[in-house]
A = this chain, B = another copy of it.
């Protein structure tokens, strides 16, 4: 029977990977946490839902999702731990305040056209992007 899986889970399967319990758990944690999470937070959440899932599997899944452009690691604050960002439709944009580290997200972007131009000029096949501005937020100006 064709069970119901999230579109992202389908992408995993389509890429030839198995939909295991561990992977689905990590994915649902990411989807429900709103977009910005560190690996430590993912580990904690996964552990809460099912403490039998090993750390190694969580990291492996994060790497896998990164390779598929489903999430993207980025540095919000510390240089020690990356923060993973869900890419809703393959892209994401935010502003990081270099003073208070607040993250301001915004929609938009005229980058579809730029992507198309780059694909043609450089003979590449783009699947997503991350645009990160940094500066001072309204409170820190």
Instruction: Select which of B95, B109, B124 is within 8 A of A126 by beta carbon.
Output: B95
Q: Find chain B residues with CB under 8 A from A129 CB.
A: 131-134
Per assembly, the copies of the chain total 2
Q: Find chain B residues with CB under 8 A from A125 CB.
A: 135-136, 141
Nearest B residue to A67 via CB reads B98
A114 is an interface residue with CB less than 8 A from chain B: yes
Q: Please report whether the interface of chain A is mostly helix, strand, loop or mixed according to DSSP.
A: mixed
A102 to chain B, nearest CB (A): 10
Taking beta carbons and an 8 Å cutoff, which residues of A are in contact with B?
Answer: 39, 59, 62-63, 66-69, 72-75, 79, 82, 95, 97-98, 104, 106, 108-111, 114-115, 118-119, 122-138, 141
5 closest A-B pairs by CB: A126-B135, A123-B138, A73-B75, A125-B136, A127-B135
* Given A124-B141, A131-B132; 20 other pairs, CB 8 A cutoff: A68-B98, A69-B134, A72-B132, A73-B79, A74-B74, A95-B118, A98-B127, A104-B122, A115-B133, A119-B135, A124-B137, A125-B135, A126-B134, A126-B135, A127-B135, A128-B133, A128-B134, A128-B135, A130-B130, A130-B134
